Amino acid sequence: MDRSRHECDALIVGAGPAGLAAAFRAAQDGRRRVTVVDDSPDAGGQIWRGERREPRSPEARAWFQRLRSVKIELINGARVFQQVEPRKLLAETYDGGVCELVFENLVLATGARERFLPFPGWTMPNVMGAGGLQALVKGGLPVERRRIVIAGSGPLLLAVAGYLRDHGADVLCVAEQASQGKVMRFGLGLINNAGKLSQAYSFLKGFKYLTDCWVTEAQGDESLKSVLLRRGGKRWSVSCDYLACGFHLVPNLELAELLGCDVAGGVVRVDEFQQTSVPQVYSAGESTGIGGLELSLVEGEIAGLAIAGRHDEARRLFPARAKQRRFADLLNRTFALRDELKTLAEAQTIVCRCEDITFDRLRGHDSWRAAKLQTRCGMGPCQGRICGSAVEFLFDWKTESVRPPILPVRVQSLATKRHKNHEE
Amino acid sequence: MPETVRLSVNGETVTMPAGSTVAAAILKTGESAFRVSVSGEARGPLCGMGICFECRVTIDGEPHCRSCQTICRNGMDVRTDG
């Protein structure tokens, strides 16, 4: 397979809000070639999935409008899997080709994924992430009159509940593991943020929102029939078609780790201009800490302005970023996971879905590395992206550094590289 | 009238709005088992965003395609492995 080559001054990995904001600011003065590369078939990331063509939110409408006023190259359906040398990445395109991406500046806007926790029945079809089910509905899945239980933790649950209801679903309840006290304080904390408060209120209206509540089991044969919920001493069963369950979010760090960027406390470390420990490599959005749409946008803008040498303008955005970071701290404190959730998995509950490794095969090990070597946990196609954040929570294991390729790719994609290196 | 595409899922014809994903088309037919795990369990989509690899199916003879990251095209032949 031939390799195509793409050169640019600023490469942005991730076409969500942070990446798009960075791309816009970097391209705004028309002085540099800006390219955005993304794994998905279209721009928008998770929160604006499908909104390039049909914007739902005013923010998405405004930003896609803004983006049309500048020259940016967008490469969709391409997943970055390797760094060949500094300033050169490889991506596999949707048609199986390999693209060499050569750049001066890089922005990692790789976003976040949901955290999943194992409980009996969680591997059954029709048990999905909360964002996962929303993505499928955005992808054309009709949910009219479908009975859906939403569970887990975080503000995403309410956003998904609202979205599914707008699409005709029968949202039976939203089970939030965080305590009522924490959620109330979170609500009070939003009083200084009128936009977010009214958003939260409009999401809450008309839902059975249960705090201190979580799923203990998904039941069914081949496919989901019902879920067991627990709240305090009360346990009950709810019949449903889908369970949408995710426990807040975790940053996608694989590419940052591959490039040697300093990662600590589960986030990419950045300076005031969003630059990582590797010069000319920036990071913006959820990869630097879970903080939501507004923080992602302002971080992306700061990174893009810094790349464009417009540091004074970037500085003027620091107060807005500081305000959003305070909100992010409150958010992450509110939706921190309670210890009871560590007891949900039973001995025979699968933890690693790729290799079907059960809880009892893992608990005897003292580290992620030992567990991987002995059981193959985390060594399937997802490369620990799903079970990694679960075992960090369940066993306090630190999931170790990544190795290339950071995603499964065709053998030819790797063979091309070897062949070429050999020639060199 | 929005644009639509027609594809085949396990031999059944399904019509989807243009831009839909193959994963959504499969679920729309009522099929929820996309693949069989290494120990024989039925599995379906989890993350919806290309990370978990649980939604792998065979598309036009090509195995292990992530159906949540693949856009439906007219005449596509999709086979679940579940």
Any A CB within 8 A of B33 CB = yes
Judge: A129–B48 Cβ closer than 8 Å, yes or no. Answer: yes
| CB atoms closer than 10 angstroms to residue A295 | 26
Cα distance from B53 to chain A (closest Cα, Å)?
6
Chain B contacts of A128, Cβ < 8 Å? Answer: 44-48
Closest residue in chain B to residue A382, using alpha carbons only: B52
Any B CB within 8 A of A221 CB = no
Chain B contacts of A355, Cβ < 8 Å? Answer: 38
Cα distance from A61 to chain B (closest Cα, Å)?
19
> For chain B, what is the largest distance between any 2 Cα atoms, rounded to a whole number of angstroms?
45
Least confident of A12-21, A87-96, A147-156: A87-96
C-alpha span between A188 and A193 (Å, rounded): 10
**B16, B46, B71: residue with CB nearest A132:** B46
C-alpha span between A318 and B16 (Å, rounded): 45
Closest residue in chain A to residue B55, using alpha carbons only: A125
The contacts of residue A309 (CB under 8 Å, 6+ apart) are: none
Q: Is the pLDDT of residue A205 over 90?
A: no
pLDDT of residue B70: 95
The model's confidence at residue A419, banded by pLDDT at 50, 70 and 90, is very low
How far out from the chain centre does Cα A275 lie?
20
Chain B contacts of A131, Cβ < 8 Å? Answer: 47-49
Judge: A131–B48 Cβ closer than 8 Å, yes or no. Answer: yes
Judge: B45–A408 Cβ closer than 8 Å, yes or no. Answer: no
| CB atoms closer than 10 angstroms to residue A319 | 10
Any B CB within 8 A of A20 CB = no
The model's confidence at residue A408, banded by pLDDT at 50, 70 and 90, is confident
Residues A357/A351, Cβ–Cβ less than 8 Å: yes
Judge: B52–A356 Cβ closer than 8 Å, yes or no. Answer: no
**A46, A126, A350: residue with CB nearest B44:** A126
Q: Is the pLDDT of residue A403 over 90?
A: no
ipTM: 0.97
Q: Which of A120, A248, A115, A244 is nearest to A170 (CA)?
A: A244
Per DSSP, A275 falls in state B
Report helix, strand and coil shares of chain A as percent, to nearest 5: 35, 25, 40
**A40, A50, A123: residue with CB nearest B43:** A123
The model's confidence at residue A191, banded by pLDDT at 50, 70 and 90, is low
Query: What tokens does A77 get?
Result: 């359906």
Q: Which amino acid is at A64?
A: F
Helices within A190-228 (DSSP H only): 194-204
The predicted model gives A21-45 an average pLDDT of 96
CA dist list (Å): A99 to A84, A109, A130, A404, A405 = 12, 19, 33, 16, 14
Any A CB within 8 A of B69 CB = yes
Q: Is the pLDDT of residue A300 over 50?
A: yes
The size of chain B, in residues, is 82
- Residue by residue, DSSP assigns A278-344 as STTEEE-GGGG----HHHHHHHHHHHHHHHTT-HHHHHHTHHHHHHHHHHHHHHHHHTPPPGGGGG-
Judge: B70–A132 Cβ closer than 8 Å, yes or no. Answer: no
Q: Is the pLDDT of residue A1 over 50?
A: yes
Q: Which residue has the higher pLDDT, A207 or A11?
A: A11
Chain A contacts of B26, Cβ < 8 Å? Answer: none
Chain B contacts of A132, Cβ < 8 Å? Answer: 45-49
Any A CB within 8 A of B67 CB = no
The model's confidence at residue A422, banded by pLDDT at 50, 70 and 90, is very low
- List phi, psi (to 5°) of A153: -160, 150
